[in-house]
Structure 1
Amino acid sequence: MMKAFENFEVWFVTGAQLLYGGDAVKQVDGHSKEMVDGLNNSGLLPIKVIYAGTANSSNEVADVMSRANNDKKCIGVITWMHTFSPAKMWIKGMQILRKPLLHLHTQYNRQIPWETMDMDFMNLNQSAHGDREFGHILSRLRKNHKTVVGHWKDEKTQKHIAVWERVCAGWADAQDCLILRFGDQMNNVAVTDGDKVAFEQVLGYHVDYCPFSEVLSYFDKVKDAEVDELVKVYFRDYAHDGRLEDRNTEEYKKVWNSAKAELTLRAILKAYGAKGFTTNFDDLGDVNVEETGHGFDQIPGLASQRLMSEGIGFGAEGDWKSAALYRTTWFMSQGLAGGTSFLEDYTLNFDGENTSILEAHMLEINPDIAEERPRLEVHFLGIGYRKSPTARLVFTSKQGHGITATIVDMGNRFRLIANDVNLIKSKPLPKLPVASALWVPEPSFEVGVGCWLNAGGTHHSCFSFGLTDEYWRDFAEIADIEALIINKETNYEQFRKELKFNEVYYMLNKALH
């Protein structure tokens, strides 16, 4: 887990002032270092905390925030007021700061030393005073931030900080995230489209189009020997029927073609430095590929499955927002149990209290969520203009609690929607040989789906077993976008009112700015 985020760090800045003398500031400094060491040694924080010093004046605050902005390893700043730190001296620094901010309301000592507490102790330990002053100025400045309240040694407090650190890492990764579109969106689909300029301006992801002719130039450079070696990896890692290994069969050829498609995608993604991609089954290259051998004989489903497992963002039918958000979902989830995947609402199973949604896709589901060892199979795929057999990993998902999320373009803003879901045991699908999951949205099928529909949620979403709604609330806070969370506490009518209230807020906010 630490290795995944080893190039990142979070800065810890303590607030004080010189009113109480230099000796007091030295004590503040010592306490702060001890607290930072304690956080790092807790084993709960995925990203190292660096003590960046105590700020005692407006110039010192502005200086440390400027340095945080310019330090590539720094992905966020934690602030804590040990003593009373008059917040007017934090105005310039907070206006300068562009990195995510966490306000930690804590105290060095856990309990009041009733028998020994004197005025010197009172002067030094004023977090109850200083943090309120700091909280006021953040509110006055309308500064987006997360507030964590609790003693710094408590596991609960540390876990809230750990969530925020992972979100900061996901945010930092998004600011340097290129998504390549191999083909356009599926024609006439509204929810997968949107404003790519605003998407980059607000969320950081850069989305480019890459013509399939360029993909084919990489396809032509793939060596047969490389393909042969990757096919061996497939047979080693996945359950399969022995006949697939017979080089004289059509099934082997389809597995081999899938391997060549994977190597092609890996090569072009590496060349561009891209962290995600989209495909569209209407754009695969040479329409006479079976005769010419020039191009993909089907959508690269197996490649998409395996690349998702390694953190490459993916969106089907040109869904670039899902490709970007999946990358962030995976990036934040590193080291957490359960796995992640791009998923699509496929079909409904009305069964009373167990009414559920079958989540699947044509081919592209991440094997990390598989209940058992994925099985490599070759089957006919009857979709798009090119209908032909292709290889894929077939499995049903693990059971358990998770969360799925999406981002939609509402025209005047981006909206993040997240829904807690419970994955349940799925029955076999002998005539639909694809990967799948079966889930019941919280708080119930009717309320969960009703809220998702009213919010304008997509049919594609990005699922994680390890994340919670706290991650997505923090992400939306950093991005300064609307967040709608659907969980066991959600009331349908109150949710509809929230949608209307939010609409008024964003209309007024736009008018004021």
Structure 2
Amino acid sequence: MQRPESKECCAMSARKQVWFLTGSQELYGEEILRQVADQSREVSDVLARSPHVVADVVAKPVMSSADAIRRAMLDANADDECVGVITWMHTFSPAKLWIKGLDQLRKPLLHFHTQANLKLPWSTIDMDFMNLNQAAHGDREYAFIATRLGKHRATVAGHVSTPQVQERIGAWTRAAVAADALKTLKVCRFGDNMRYVAVTEGDKVEAEINYGTEFNTWGVNDLAAVVDKVSDKAVDSLISEYLDLYDVAEELHPGKDRAESLRVAAAIELGLRSFVVDGGYGAFTTNFEDLGGLRQLPGLGVQRLMAEGIGFAGEGDWKTAVLGRALKVMADGLPGGTSFMEDYTYDLTAGSELSLGAHMLEVCPSIAKGTPRIEVHPLFVGDREDPVRMVFDAEPGDGVIMGMCDLGDRYRWVSNELRVIDPPEPMPKLPIARAVWQVKAEWSTATECWLAAGGPHHSVLSTALTTDHLKLLSEIVGTELAAITERTTDTFEFVERLRWTNAYHRLGLGS
């Protein structure tokens, strides 16, 4: 039996669209424009069939006038299904034609620098061929005006048949879909932030301006009231599902000593589903300091909702919950998993330093190795009954971890490349889900860079995504990414780059 947590399982609506716009001009005549249209469709069809592209590629008529270009961009802005635009200058498209259109475009933009033919027909090439196949000419003209206008864009160069080209365009479509998800995201906050904690605070109005994300706060007793109305029949059905999917501790089975604890956890999950999923929220937060009428700190239900693509963070940390949803959308369908995470403690053995990450209860089983085990244990915080949770070790694999901090005048994302590994030894006395990893840069350098950038203690760990995915998303949404990679070797140089970035943004150049 395949567990639903074996890969990212993100509850999303029908596939979104990216529009494919090809540039030319009236000068060439109808026959040439028909050839341009045919070859353009051949290229867009390859992308449409590519397994790497996670949106429907919609081919638009060849753009040969300023009015048509402007109208296409305005239509893209207004179409909720369109998450981005791919442009290609098949022939020579004078860049003045694109000024008004590019100036109006508010959706993510990818400039695809390619050509219809893979190889040149050296023995037969003539001026007719040259006039038709001059993307090397036209795309330079187009790229200049995009740069002159200060238009943020991704650029991919290469032939559409090349797997790496399809992978790069596919990664951009993932970022465009994730950015679109942020624009429509609603975050449900049960209570406020943990008291006295700084990094989980932030400007929610600025976040809505930047990302389009909406935040709503509910009293935890509003959730408790929904939980109290859950029927015994619904609880029985969910417990049967637990028994089918997971390794459930014997004491939690029906009729056993701790069976009531699992029933409480199941009722909390059903209440969360009713409140969060039915309420149209794509992310939520809880806070162990504010549990109201709940009998347990939500654990098992939170883990299962995360496995289905819902963003979450504990202690009221709405910023990390937002990141969690964005990265889950971007990782949908990829091998690996994505989870709320917290750096807890280190093994500082020189030369083989390790991080042990976890949280009190809420680590997503999409990163689990093997079948998670459902157990109940004391928590010692929250002043409630012993909570139920899944316990597991994370599946080994390369990945990234990313956090979000509010610098006052803007947001910054901080990321770090890592490799999740099997724990060096069993941890039988640690009854929580956990991940052990090595950072890819030298440990002290990577850690000092994270601290210098103001990286938070809460983060999102993904073994499905790479730094390149994060870069694409940060470019689209206009947020600084301080990326610590395998190539980061000098803390001073990293800090200097942060200082130059500060100047860039504070001079208004990043707007």
TM superposition score category, shorter chain reference: over 0.9
Contact 1:399 1:422 in 2 (8 A): yes
User: Which of residues 106, 110, 113 in structure 2 aligns to 1:102?
Assistant: 110
Q: Give the aligned partner of residue 441 of structure 1.
A: 439
Matched, 1:260 2:267: yes
Partner of 2:508: 509
SS of equivalent residue, structure 2 residue 260: helix
The 3-state SS of whatever aligns with 1:209 is: strand
Identity of aligned residues (%): 42
The unaligned stretches of length 5 or more in structure 2 are 1-8
- Correspondence for 1:135: 143
Change (3 A) 1:150 1:5: farther
In 2, the alpha carbon distance for the partners of 1:500 and 1:42 equals: 41
CA contact (8 A) 2:250 2:256 kept: no
Q: In structure 1, give the amino acid aligned to 2:394.
A: S
- Report the residue type matching 2:456 in the other structure: T
TM-superposed deviation, 1:298: 2.0
Give the superposition deviation at 1:42. Answer: 3.3
Question: 227, 237, 249: which one pairs with 2:235?
Answer: 227
After TM superposition, the structure 1 = structure 2 runs for residues 362-511 of structure 1, keeping only pairs within 5 Å, are: 362-384=360-382, 386-426=383-423, 427-491=425-489, 492-509=491-508
TM-score w.r.t. the length of structure 2 is 0.95
Equivalent position amino acid for 1:417 in 2: V
Query: CA separation in 1, counterparts of 2:341 and 2:75?
Result: 40
For 2:31 and 2:492, the matched residues in 1 are separated by 57
**Corresponding residue to 1:273 among 274, 280, 300:** 280
164-173 or 211-220: which moved more?
211-220
Give secondary structure in 1 for the equivalent of 2:416.
Answer: strand
Tell me the distance in 2 between the aligned counterparts of 1:371 and 1:271.
30
Residue number in structure 2 paired with 1:192? 200
Does residue 82 in structure 1 map to residue 108 in structure 2? no
2:352 corresponds to:
354
- Tell me, yes or no, if structure 1 residue 324 matches structure 2 residue 322: yes
The Cα of 1:317 is off from its aligned counterpart by 0.2
Tell me the C-alpha RMSD between the 2 structures. 1.6
Alignment partners' CA distance in 1, 2:359 and 2:277: 26
Matched residue, 1:291: none
In the alignment, residue 13 of structure 1 is paired with which amino acid?
Answer: L
Superposition pairs of residues 201-220 of structure 1, within 5 angstroms: 201-220=209-228
Structure 2 Cα separation of the partners of residues 284 and 387 of structure 1? 8
Distance, in Å, in 2 between the alignment partners of 1:43 and 1:347 is 39
Partner Cα separation in structure 2 for residue 391 and residue 272 of structure 1: 25
| Bigger relative contact order (CA 8 A; separation at least 6) | 2
Q: 1:246 and 1:69 mapped to 2: Cα distance?
A: 54
Distance verdict in 2 for CA 1:41–1:272, change over 3 Å: closer
Alignment check: 8 A CA contact 1:277 1:313 kept: yes
Normalised by the length of structure 1, the TM-score is: 0.95
Task: Please state whether the residue corresponding to 2:129 is helix, strand or coil.
Answer: helix
Superposed CA offset, 1:193-221 (max 9, x none): 11001101111211111112321221232
Instruction: Confirm or deny: 8 A CA contact 2:414 2:453 kept in the other structure.
Output: yes
CA distance in 2, matches of 1:456, 1:124: 52
What stretches of structure 1 move > 6 A for 4+ residues in a row? Answer: none
Q: Which residue of 2 aligns with 1:162?
A: 170
Aligned equivalents of 1:453 and 1:407: distance in 2?
12
Contact 2:10 2:308 in 1 (8 A): no
Secondary structure, in 3 states, of the residue corresponding to 2:60? strand
